[in-house]
Amino acid sequence: MSPEETPHGKTETKLIYMANQIATFFKTQPANEAAQGVATHINKFWEPRMRRQLFTIIDQGDSGLSPLVLEAASLIHRPAPAEEVKSA
């Protein structure tokens, strides 16, 4: 496994990197607004497939995600599982 990869693979590594970049920006905001800022950004700009992958990473644990991303997770809209989307 290369240094830029996690056990989750390259796509997940990129999502972790992007989520952590968002958290880095928002941690300069007041503490009571930072998690909401991260969640709002992800809800607004990440498509459901990306959010679904983010929650898979979170649910598997040991993700390398910033504590601020993990704090924001409860405010991020969790999309329906891919199986449900295909059958709809």
- In this structure, the number of other CB atoms found within 10 A of the CB of residue 1 comes to 8
In the predicted structure, residue 72 carries a pLDDT above the cut 70: yes
Per-residue pLDDT, 81: 86
pLDDT digits (tens, 9 = 90+) for 16-62: 999 999 999 999 999 889 999 999 999 999 999 999 999 999 999 87
CB 65 within 8 A of CB 42: no
What letter does residue 2 receive in the DSSP assignment?
-
Domain ranges of the chain: 6-72
Position 85 confidence tier, pLDDT thresholds 50, 70, 90: low
- In this structure, the number of other CB atoms found within 10 A of the CB of residue 55 comes to 16
Per-residue pLDDT, 10: 85
